[in-house]
């Protein structure tokens, strides 16, 4: 890694992420350990650590680092937990999640992006990830219930199948809404038939491909 990239990585953490009240030491350490520039095209490496979304092809983007840090802090993944990630992209956030959790199951709808992510994580020596290709906009079949579900695209309606996939005490991070009116929500399963939703902060990110939409009201 070039020295100016090293400086940009340091500045991302100390001048962007930490001043945005992302203070969880495990999240900061994970962001420090994974080189963001290794997950974008070479021509974008010079701006890999800027606080902006970056195109990764196929109409998809990598979310800004401050937002990623805030999302990771909000979900507060523990070392023994297993995580289902919806939207692998090029694998950057997958690699971060893998630093925080026991195991990551990640699903990507674009085969080419999944292949890129697998190569990127192999280069980064990340081994606790299982990759799947498919449309997870309405749910994803799992052999067992999962501790954490993490989505990096927004829903207008959270699929019920995801809520049912959580362990008791498990939680899902979802960005819910449309347009510029979205909120980050943590939905925690507190009993077999009971969930608790906490709204954490407002944001706006791209919508999940093929996800169910709210009905439009006509007057």
Low-confidence ranges of the chain (pLDDT < 50): 1
Alpha helices in the chain (DSSP H): 3-11, 25-33, 65-75, 92-100, 111-123, 160-165
Task: Report whether 91 contacts 120 (CB < 8 A).
Answer: yes
* 208 assigned to some structural domain: no
Q: What digits encode the pLDDT tens for the residues 80-128?
A: 999 999 999 999 999 999 999 999 999 999 999 999 999 999 999 999 9
Q: Is 80 inside any structural domain?
A: yes
Give me the half-sphere count of Cα atoms (radius 13 Å) on the Cβ side of residue 66. Answer: 15
Q: Is residue 169 part of a domain?
A: yes
Q: Which domain CATH number covers 114?
A: 3.40.50.150
CA distance linking residue 147 with residue 189, whole number of Å:
10
Q: Is 51 part of a structural domain of the chain?
A: yes
Asked, for residue 214, whether it belongs to a domain, the answer is: no
Return phi, psi of residue 68, to 5°.
-60, -45
Residue 209 within any structural domain of the chain? no
Whole-prediction pTM:
0.93
Tally of structural domains, the chain: 1
Whether residue 216 is contained in a domain is answered as no
Residue 113 forms part of a structural domain = yes
Give the range of the structural domain holding residue 88, as residue numbers without chain letter. 3-203
């Amino acid at each position: 890694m070039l020295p100016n990239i090293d400086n940009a990585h340091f500045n991302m953490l100390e001048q962007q992420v930490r001043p945005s009240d992302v203070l969880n030491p495990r999240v900061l350490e994970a962001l420090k350990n994974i080189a963001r520039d290794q997950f974008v095209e070479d021509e974008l490496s010079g701006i890999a650590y800027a606080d902006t979304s970056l195109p990764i092809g196929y109409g998809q983007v990598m979310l800004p680092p401050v937002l990623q840090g805030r999302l990771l802090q909000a979900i507060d993944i523990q070392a023994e937990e297993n995580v289902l990630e919806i939207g692998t992209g090029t694998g950057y956030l997958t690699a971060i999640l893998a630093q925080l959790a026991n195991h990551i199951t990640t699903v990507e709808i674009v085969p080419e992006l999944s292949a890129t992510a697998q190569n990127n994580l192999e280069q980064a020596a990340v081994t606790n990830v299982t990759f799947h290709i498919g449309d997870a906009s309405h749910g994803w079949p799992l052999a067992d219930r999962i501790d954490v579900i993490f989505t990096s695209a927004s829903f207008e309606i959270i699929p019920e199948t995801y809520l049912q996939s959580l362990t008791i005490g498990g939680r899902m991070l979802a960005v819910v809404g449309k347009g510029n009116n979205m909120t980050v929500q943590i939905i925690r399963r507190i009993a077999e038939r009971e969930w608790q939703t906490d709204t954490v902060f407002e944001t706006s990110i791209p919508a999940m491909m093929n996800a169910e939409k709210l009905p439009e009201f006509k007057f």
